[in-house]
Amino acid sequence: MDRLKNNLHFNFTDYKFPDINLEECTYTEYKPSQSENIFASKSAVIIAVSDGKAAVTQSDNRFTVTKGKGILVKPGMSVVVKSDSIEPVVMICVKISGESVKSFLSLIDKKQNSIILDFDSNGKIADSARDLITECAKTYSSDYAIILSFYDFINSMHEHYTEKKIPTKNVYMTRAVEYIKQNYNKNLSVEGIANMLGIERSYLSRLFKTYKNKSTQNYIIDYRMRQAKRMFEEEDMNVSQVCTEVGYTNIYCFSRIFKSRVGMPPKEYMERCRRQGVQAMVEAGEII
Contact 164, 213 (CB under 8 A): no
In sequence order, the 6+-apart residues with CB closer than 8 A to the CB of 34 are 82, 83, 88
Q: Strand pairing of 78-83 and 21-30?
A: unpaired
Could you give the CA distance from residue 50 to residue 130 in angstroms, rounded to a whole number? 8
Could you give the CA distance from residue 119 to residue 159 in angstroms, rounded to a whole number? 11
Domain spans of the chain? 21-119, 171-275
Mean pLDDT of 78-107: 91
pLDDT band at 125 (very low <50, low <70, confident <90, very high): confident
pLDDT band at 121 (very low <50, low <70, confident <90, very high): low
Contact 240, 267 (CB under 8 A): no
Q: How many residues does the chain have?
A: 288
Q: What is the pLDDT of residues 187-235, one digit of tens each?
A: 999 999 999 999 888 889 888 888 888 899 999 999 999 999 999 988 8
Hey, which of 1-5, 165-169, 262-266, 274-278 has the most confident mean pLDDT? Answer: 262-266
Could you give the CA distance from residue 179 to residue 181 in angstroms, rounded to a whole number? 5
21-119 has which CATH code? Answer: 2.60.120.10
Domains 21-119 and 171-275 share a fold: no
* Intra-chain end-to-end CA distance of the chain, in Å: 53
User: What pLDDT does 282 receive?
Assistant: 42
User: What pLDDT does 277 receive?
Assistant: 65
In sequence order, the 6+-apart residues with CB closer than 8 A to the CB of 98 are 18, 19, 20, 21
Architecture of the domain delimited by 171-275? Orthogonal Bundle (1.10)
SS3 content of the chain, % helix, strand, coil (to 5): 45, 20, 35
Mean pLDDT of 6-13: 80
Contact 274, 239 (CB under 8 A): no
pTM of structure:
0.59
